[in-house]
Amino acid sequence: MEAMKFHLEVECDETALDEVTYRELARILRYWAGNLHHYELAPGMTAKIYDSEYKETGSWTISF
């Protein structure tokens, strides 16, 4: 049996203060953890990730 892999990629603004980066990353993790039940966890499933200003900042993908 293969293990499911959940790959989350978030691009952080290198010019932002560390505090802002930590806060934004924490918000993204909370949001997506709470919304995963809306998605089928199947190979190839993917979704874009947006920051608090609704700018695309990454994605997550399911693979096996």
- Position 30 scores a pLDDT of 93
Total domains in the fold of the chain: 1
- Position 8 scores a pLDDT of 93
pLDDT in tens, 15-50: 777 888 889 999 999 998 888 899 888 889 999 999
- Which candidate, 37, 24, 32, places its Cα nearest to that of 59? 32
Other Cβ atoms less than 10 A from the Cβ of 57: the count is: 19
- Position 1 scores a pLDDT of 61
- For the chain, strand residue ranges (E) read 5-10, 46-50, 56-63
Across the beta sheet with 5-10, what order do the strands follow? 5-10, 56-63, 46-50
pLDDT in tens, 1-24: 678 899 999 998 777 778 888 899
Identify the domain containing residue 48 by its residue range: 5-63
